[in-house]
Structure 1
Amino acid sequence: MKGEQGSTLSQKQSDGKSVVMDLMQFKELDAHALKVNFKDSVENLVSVLHEKAHSDLEKVRAIWMWICHHIEYDVEGYRNRDKASYKPADVLQSGKAICSGYAQLFEEMCRVAGIQCKYLAGRCRNDDFKGKSRHAWNAVYLDGKWHLLDCTWASGYVDDSYTKFTFSYKEFYFLTSPALFRKDHFPDEDEWQLLKQKLTPEAA
């Protein structure tokens, strides 16, 4: 009976994901990622983050959790793009980024970790990040397949006046199933919908 309950829990926590997983398997890894506070270089940060990671999935998870809980959305940079930097080293030092900075930092950290990652751009539809509809996110290659995720939207939300960001983690955007992800993400290149039947924004 106990085994059946564990199986049910695992399946429930996999709902909406493109990978079957039990989120409890990440408990120690997540706690470690949240405590790491290295900002001197991407290489050193990744090295420390991955001390407790034993698979590519766990490496991606550690990178993801660190970014979502340590990088805040740069509301000033959003209003004045000249003040925003997208370079991973700059984002790491400042602790702030707009979506392009989040996605580029994630891509760079995956590169250092030896994990194939793709920076994606397109249009979006989201109540937490109002304003222009251009957006950036990522895809990672795990176990022979591409999977989608969005560090920016997972990290928190901005207020109605677009002056303040609040950290508020959203698990939903980690390795989200393409069918669900496609409801509010519209990549410029249709192939990155990762769906056999491509949809238009109007049909989503």
Structure 2
Amino acid sequence: MTFPFLFLDYPWDKSNQKSIQIDLAKFKELDAYAQKVNVRNSVKNLVSVLLQKAPSDLEKVRAIWMWICHHIEYDVEGCYNLDKVSFKPADVLQSGKAICGGYARLFQEMCSIAGIQCQYLIGSCSVKGKSDHAWNAVRIDGRWHLLDCTWGSGSVNTAFSKFTFRYDEFYFLTHPALFIKKHFPEDPKWQLLKQTVTLEHQHDLT
């Protein structure tokens, strides 16, 4: 089954999978700077250092995203022991590890400090429909956009025993028509689609 309305409401082509027109080449210096920043004493101090090279809201979001994706690793052990996992941004920063909720909370906190509106979203990334994942929506130039720091940072092996940093640009400001294929929020409005998709229809898109 196909859903052409997704593409009519949010036109996109394979050369641009973003929800905003951006030139990634212009982020080259900022990306390199953000990856090299090594501040762990406080979230506020980290954001302050990152923003030294990020004057616009888009650049602020990019710097925060890039830092998290290259410095926070997925806590595989914690995923099996949730009672030992902290979602507090300060704890995630100190440990350098998190599961999805920790990634999303840290991103939200850093955006808040930077003066950027950000939402913490939960929902399903599987066909089971059970809420099992967290990600963010961020407001830039009057519009909301979607991103997933967890999936942008890397991946876990098939045995779910080891995480490997493997940056994935796809999950930064992903086009809603593409993001919905693997991210089904509990609140339908955060699909950011003019015509929302039901969970049943989402299964047909994957």
TM-score w.r.t. the length of structure 2 is 0.88
Counterpart CA distance in 2 for 1:121 and 1:176 is 16
Counterpart CA distance in 2 for 1:173 and 1:62 is 14
- 1:118–1:139 contact (8 Å) kept in structure 2: yes
Match of 2:198 in 1: 200
C-alpha RMSD over aligned residues: 1.7
- 2:122–2:131 contact (8 Å) kept in structure 1: no
Shift of 1:135: 0.2
- 1:14–1:20 contact (8 Å) kept in structure 2: no
Change (3 A) 1:13 1:36: farther
Counterpart CA distance in 2 for 1:24 and 1:173 is 17
How many percent of aligned residue pairs carry the same amino acid?
Answer: 69
SS of the residue 1:195 aligns to? coil
Match of 2:145 in 1: 147
Return 5+ residue gaps in structure 1 as ranges. Answer: 1-10, 127-131
Equivalences for residues 100-111 of structure 1 within 5 A: 100-111=101-112
Match of 1:97 in 2: 98
SS of the residue 1:15 aligns to? coil
Equivalences for residues 45-194 of structure 1 within 5 A: 45-125=46-126, 134-194=132-192
Q: Which amino acid is the alignment partner of residue 99 of structure 1?
A: C
Q: Which of the pair has the greater relative contact order for Cα pairs under 8 Å at 6+ separation?
A: 2
SS of the residue 1:202 aligns to? helix
Match of 2:28 in 1: 27
- Equivalenced residues, count: 189
Change (3 A) 1:158 1:133: farther
- 1:49–1:63 contact (8 Å) kept in structure 2: yes
Return 5+ residue gaps in structure 2 as ranges. Answer: 1-11
